[in-house]
Homo-oligomer: A and B are copies of this chain.
Amino acid sequence: MSISPTGEGLRRALDGPFHDLKQRWRDEVSADEVVRDTALSMEEARDWTLDRVKKLAQRDFVTAGFPSAQGGTGTSAESVANFEMMAMGDLSLTIKSGVQHGLFGGAITNLGTQYHHETFLPGAINVDLPGCFAMTELGHGSDVQSIETSITWDPDTQEYVVHSPSPTATKAYIGNAARDGRMAAVFGQLWVDDEHQGVHVALVPIRDEDGNPMPGVTIGDHGHKGGLLGVDNGTISFEHVRVPRSMLLDRYGGVGEDGAYHSPIESKNARFFTMLGTLVRGRICVGGGAASGARKALAIAVHHGLNRRQFRRAGLGEEIPLFDYLSHQRRLLPHVARAYAYGFAQNELAQQLQRVLDQEDPGSPASRELETRAAGMKALLTRWALDAIQEAREACGGAGYMSDNGITMTRQDADIFATFEGDNTVLLQLVAKALLLEYKSTWGDMDLRGTASKTAKLIGGAFMERTTARSAIDRLVAVANRKPESERLRARGWHVQMFEFRESHIVESLAARMRAASKQPEDQRDAAINACQMHMIEAAKAHVDRIVLEAFIEGIEETADDYIKAILVKVCDLYALWTIEQNRAWYLEHEAFDPKKSKAITATVDALCGELRPRAKELAEGLGVPESWQKHPTEAVPPIIA
């Protein structure tokens, strides 16, 4: 099962700085360790998943993200890369591990102190202490700030009392809760001496050694879900459950030995969103994981499209490979190009995460930029992944529907990626808000009234913070401007100009509308702001599109091999022009180009599909899905009944 040298080269380029790590997965981890049998029942899937999470945790590189004191390397960027590789195997496994190591372990790491690290991380890492991340409640998901669970300081006993004051305060959809979790990182409103200090997190044991719920803890099982059958999501509620003072993850605030509340961050609001911000890695992982699912589905569909034939040319000759149909190329190759684009952008994002973490300055402008990018990327990558996996399924015809091939399970598991770690519709609005306020305001707060009144006069794309590729990009733009009109469509600098124009125009016109909305009479203001909602979402998309293109350009710059580079240039052409094509109504409305050019763009996308068709196999290999983890339709002929 070796791949072509070109496939190998593309894989290396797309892996980028994570090549060695990702290659270890390919070389060392067998399908048996990470690919789930699609026919397992829910109970079997839960067993398999827990077992495999534990086994994988024994490999040092899998838990590399933890602090060095706990045997990790502290490199969050590598955690992201690990998550992406695991996601090419199975998404239940990835999410179960993500809950255990990323969320539960991550909360302890980022919100706890040395005491918490030493006491709880070893068990979190080796899964002796299965844990939950209990933030969402039945009543509040997107609006976490309004959760009802209370954490009340009792000065008499020096304990925190964790309580669910109403049915809607029940923690909901919590991974690891229904079956395996022993402890939960519980988000609740902290009250000290009748003063509200905002959302904090307490570690609460939820099951005893025998696996029974602890006194005062009620646990429910969500049972069967639309996917992720291996993850035991459940509900948890608390009836005045007491934990000692040391159980509050108090890095950003808690009651000191003096019995008084202390926090390095004054504002409740900023404190809460700073805490959430330290958990941004989870969001980055989810975007990357969905993209991995899409890569796998695309790899399978490309393989099938090259091998499957259907219909004969006018009564004669051989049957036609599906990939010879323009429609088939059109269905798959643009998605493949986007997989590359998002892959390069995701590498860049993971590195940015590492840089920000290394600065150790949460709440800094750099961290707000990171959170903006992480949110926008998560929303776009997960949306795209669902569409791409679906297209891959349909492109495989009936064979694609047989669970054996893994496409449908990937689609089902990835479905919820659009919702958890931040619902996409909400995230895109937060991205727009950050752009409007030029990253000056707290990240994560959904106060759109405040946003409207504070929206700056944005001129000349000042809000367009740059990715590192700026110099290369200026050069490309200059080159494009010297090209004759007829060659512009394939000039990268022209793509950049189009992406930038779309972003800056949408954001600037949004700013104007939002400022006007804020000046409306009181009773019309909210309606005026609400009317900007779709505009906000468009602004965020345009922003991320531009960032992705820049990352692709940088990824190409960093590719040493000229042959590989030349292929990537074409793939980038396809990504850029397809994106422009998809938005051509907007461009025509804003007279960025005329109808003739618009039609020429469509023709060029067609042409690029034809040009890349001979490289389809290698492009699919380059997506980096280990061969032995893929199952192809033709291999999935069913067992005979005796």
Is A533 a contact of B325 with CB atoms below 8 Å?
A: yes
A164 to B637, CA, bound (A): 16
A46 to B394, CA, bound (A): 24
Q: How far is the CB of A2 from chain B (nearest CB, A)?
A: 27
When the two chains form the complex, which single residue of B225, B313, B588, B638 contacts A595, counting CB atoms closer than 8 Å? Answer: B588
Which B residues are in CB contact (< 8 Å) with A606? 531, 534
Which B residues are in CB contact (< 8 Å) with A584? 585, 589
Which B residues are in CB contact (< 8 Å) with A534? 326-327, 330, 606
When the two chains form the complex, which single residue of B172, B325, B588 contacts A585, counting CB atoms closer than 8 Å? Answer: B588
When the two chains form the complex, which single residue of B224, B393, B599 contacts A39, counting CB atoms closer than 8 Å? Answer: B224
When the two chains form the complex, which single residue of B219, B313, B598 contacts A588, counting CB atoms closer than 8 Å? Answer: B598
When the two chains form the complex, which single residue of B42, B330, B397, B418 contacts A141, counting CB atoms closer than 8 Å? Answer: B397
A639 to B606, CA, bound (A): 53
Given contacts A386-B390, A412-B408, contact A526 B226 (CB under 8 A): no
A531 to B610, CA, bound (A): 10
Q: Mark A302-334, 1 if CB is under 8 A from B, else 0.
A: 000000001111110001000011111011000
Is A533 a contact of B327 with CB atoms below 8 Å?
A: yes
Q: How far is the CB of A275 from chain B (nearest CB, A)?
A: 19
A598 to B598, CA, bound (A): 16
When the two chains form the complex, which single residue of B41, B220, B311 contacts A640, counting CB atoms closer than 8 Å? Answer: B220
Which B residues are in CB contact (< 8 Å) with A411? 226, 415
When the two chains form the complex, which single residue of B38, B225, B588 contacts A408, counting CB atoms closer than 8 Å? Answer: B225
Which B residues are in CB contact (< 8 Å) with A141? 310, 397-398
Is B640 a contact of A450 with CB atoms below 8 Å?
A: no
Q: How far is the CB of A315 from chain B (nearest CB, A)?
A: 8
A374 proximal to B (CB < 8 A): no
A173 to B331, CA, bound (A): 24
The interface stretch among A194-202, A243-251, A399-407 is: A399-407
A234 proximal to B (CB < 8 A): yes
A641 proximal to B (CB < 8 A): yes
Q: How far is the CB of A485 from chain B (nearest CB, A)?
A: 18
Is A640 a contact of B585 with CB atoms below 8 Å?
A: no
Is A38 a contact of B325 with CB atoms below 8 Å?
A: no
Measured CB to CB, the nearest residue on chain B to A450 is: B314
A136 proximal to B (CB < 8 A): yes
A101 to B595, CA, bound (A): 51
A563 proximal to B (CB < 8 A): no
Given contacts A394-B419, A404-B223, A450-B314, contact A531 B598 (CB under 8 A): no
Is B589 a contact of A589 with CB atoms below 8 Å?
A: no
Q: Count of chain A residues with Cβ under 8 Å from any Cβ of B? A: 93
Which B residues are in CB contact (< 8 Å) with A270? none
Q: How far is the CB of A403 from chain B (nearest CB, A)?
A: 4
A116 proximal to B (CB < 8 A): no
A457 proximal to B (CB < 8 A): no
Given contacts A218-B640, A588-B588, contact A531 B326 (CB under 8 A): yes
A399 to B530, CA, bound (A): 24
Q: Mark A257-271, 1 if CB is under 8 A from B, else 0.
A: 000000000000000
Which B residues are in CB contact (< 8 Å) with A404? 223-224
A313 to B525, CA, bound (A): 11
A143 proximal to B (CB < 8 A): yes
Which B residues are in CB contact (< 8 Å) with A423? 394, 397
Which B residues are in CB contact (< 8 Å) with A403? 223-226
A226 to B408, CA, bound (A): 5
Which B residues are in CB contact (< 8 Å) with A220? 637-641
- Which residues of A, 589-642, contact B by the 8 Å Cβ criterion? 589-591, 595, 598-599, 606, 637-641
A310 to B429, CA, bound (A): 14
Q: How far is the CB of A205 from chain B (nearest CB, A)?
A: 16
Measured CB to CB, the nearest residue on chain B to A412 is: B412
Measured CB to CB, the nearest residue on chain B to A607 is: B531
Which B residues are in CB contact (< 8 Å) with A219? 640-641
Is A136 a contact of B327 with CB atoms below 8 Å?
A: no
A425 proximal to B (CB < 8 A): yes
A525 to B122, CA, bound (A): 68
Q: How far is the CB of A605 from chain B (nearest CB, A)?
A: 10
Is B588 a contact of A638 with CB atoms below 8 Å?
A: no
Residue among A226, A310, A394 with most chain B CB within 10 A: A226
Is A533 a contact of B641 with CB atoms below 8 Å?
A: no
Measured CB to CB, the nearest residue on chain B to A589 is: B595
Which B residues are in CB contact (< 8 Å) with A319? 143, 146
- Which residues of A, 372-422, contact B by the 8 Å Cβ criterion? 386, 390, 393-394, 397-398, 400-404, 407-409, 411-412, 415-416, 418-420
Which B residues are in CB contact (< 8 Å) with A449? 313-314
A476 proximal to B (CB < 8 A): no
A170-B637, A223-B639, A225-B408 known, 10 other contacts, Cβ within 8 Å: A142-B397, A220-B640, A223-B403, A235-B638, A325-B533, A326-B530, A330-B534, A386-B390, A401-B416, A584-B589
Q: Interface on A for B, CB 8 Å cutoff?
A: 38-39, 41-42, 136, 138, 140-143, 146, 167, 170, 172-173, 178, 213, 218-227, 234-235, 310-315, 319, 324-328, 330-331, 386, 390, 393-394, 397-398, 400-404, 407-409, 411-412, 415-416, 418-420, 423-425, 446-450, 526, 530-531, 533-534, 537, 584-585, 588-591, 595, 598-599, 606, 637-641
Can you list 27 A-B pairs with a CB-CB distance of less than 8 A? Answer: A138-B637, A141-B310, A142-B311, A219-B641, A220-B639, A220-B640, A221-B638, A221-B639, A223-B403, A223-B404, A225-B408, A226-B400, A226-B401, A226-B408, A226-B412, A227-B401, A227-B408, A313-B449, A315-B447, A326-B530, A386-B390, A390-B415, A397-B423, A398-B419, A531-B606, A588-B588, A591-B595
